[in-house]
Amino acid sequence: MNCLSLNVRGARGVGKAGWVKGLRSSYGVDFIALQETKIADPTGWFLSQFWGISRYEAAVVNSEGNAGGLICWWDPLSFRMTDVIKTRHCLVVSGTLIHHDLIVNIANIHAPNDAVRRRELWVRLLQFRQQLSGCWVMLGDFNEVRTSDERMNSEFIPQYAATFNDFIREAELFEYNMGGHRFTYMGAGEKLSKLDRFFNSWLEFPGFANYVKFICDKFVFNGPADLALAAKLKWLKGRIRLWIAAERAKTDNRSTECKKIIESIDRTGETRSLSPNEIDVRLAAKKDLLEFDRLKSLDAKQKSRTRWAFDGDENSKFFHNVMRINTASNRIHGVKVGDVWEADPIVIKEKAVEFFASKFMNNTSHRPVFVCP
């Protein structure tokens, strides 16, 4: 699921709705989080200007006067919302990633300028983190930096940064490497800061963190500390590369097996009705295949960033990978008939034919009579 986070500093500004909608369309965004909207009780028409004509769901924290305000939009076909928590500076949307059956809590954050109130927000977020199960994504305007190099021409206070880093560590968050410019905020043309961030609480490859901890304990080096660190990082890089290659090979083998299972069951479904066990096996294989495609998409994105400086717009491998993944995700995996979810290929084909045939049926009981003299 692709997420977009922006501090719009007033959502009613000229052209901002079109700008956000354009970003969503260009990058295939499934979840939008806006901060400092400066809006209370927005209408459905206003919300649709940011999302577009497709179906969406939304949650809003009203601004207080001309300050604050948070809005989240999401695609109900990708994310099924189960709960929403609203505070003045935080909007937490909990739900399930439909294609991956994964519980996710997404926190849209606009931290206050006051340091004491920021600490109170960190404490409250940690409480939410402990109370709600599932993975966490925290994004937004945190109004704080982690290191001195994230500020320019403005005061860096180590105690505030230490508190912020303690919160990140206690919440067990990992920060995404952000593209674009070095700073995310410019004040008065001179003061620059990196205030907007994107964190998540899990690593993509299962077992990666445990593997790194395991091999770190095996490293031995006698010499100065700076050389030891350099040697350890180089040593880790080589072993991680081998581990990732082995994991990718396993994933490719499993992906091939899933495709064969699905193809075999689909062929069986063309000659007879599938048994409940066959349907369950097919659904499990489809679920695994979608997860493998998602990991490949993330890998392709990372590689494309490295190649971009050399290939520019000629970098087409990433584009074709995304197209293949989109094609796979657009397949019809099942239809709902009444209150029953049907995954049998024969039933799906029959219902599709019935649906489109009904669009061309004439409900007129008496047809006009043409008389030719």
Q: How far apart are CA 340 and CA 363, in angstroms?
A: 28
**118 and 156 in contact (C-beta within 8 Å)?**
no
Which token pair is 297? 């998409």
**Residue 214 burial (CB count, 10 A):** 10
Strands 31-35 and 3-7: parallel
User: Measured at the alpha carbon of residue 96, what is the angle toward residues 94 and 101, in degrees to the nearest 5?
Assistant: 155
For residues 328-350, one letter each, b for 16 or more C-beta atoms within 10 angstroms of the residue's C-beta and e for the rest, the string is: eeeeeebbeeeeeebbbbebbee
Residues 236 and 194 in one domain: no
Residues 113 and 160 in one domain: yes
Residues 269 and 182 in one domain: no
| 335 domain residue, yes or no | no
Residues 237 and 121 in one domain: no
Average pLDDT over residues 1-20: 86
pLDDT in tens, 156-195: 888 888 888 888 888 888 777 665 545 454 454 444 555 5
Residues 79 and 170 in one domain: yes
Residue 34, classified by CB atoms within 10 Å of its CB into exposed (0-12), middle (13-18) or buried (19+), is: buried
Per cent of the chain over pLDDT 70 is 80
Residues 196 and 270 in one domain: no
Residues 27 and 143 in one domain: yes
Domain region containing 47: 3-200
Residues 142 and 272 in one domain: no
| 365 domain residue, yes or no | no
Give residue for tokens 């500020």: 151
Strands 151-152 and 174-175: unpaired
Strands 135-141 and 102-110: parallel
Q: Is the pLDDT of residue 326 over 60?
A: yes
| 347 domain residue, yes or no | no
| 271 domain residue, yes or no | yes
Residues 193 and 247 in one domain: no
| 63 domain residue, yes or no | yes
Residues 157 and 278 in one domain: no
Q: Is the pLDDT of residue 312 over 60?
A: no
Radius of gyration of the chain (CA): 26
Residues 138 and 257 in one domain: no
Per cent of the chain over pLDDT 90 is 16
Q: How far apart are CA 56 and CA 135, in angstroms?
A: 22
Domain count, the chain: 2
Residues 15 and 160 in one domain: yes
Give residue for tokens 């043409």: 370
pTM of the predicted model as reported, rounded to 2 decimal places: 0.53
| 239 domain residue, yes or no | yes
pLDDT at 286: 82
| 76 domain residue, yes or no | yes
Single-letter amino acid, residue 2: N
| 219 domain residue, yes or no | no
Helix (H, G, I), strand (E, B) or coil at 122: helix
Q: How far apart are CA 145 and CA 151, in angstroms?
A: 7
Q: How far apart are CA 56 and CA 74, in angstroms?
A: 6
- The CATH number that applies at residue 190 is 3.60.10.10
**96 and 80 in contact (C-beta within 8 Å)?**
yes
Pick from 62, 59, 12, 5: which is nearest to 33 by CA? 5
Average pLDDT over residues 214-234: 80
Bridge-partner residues for 197, per DSSP? Answer: 140
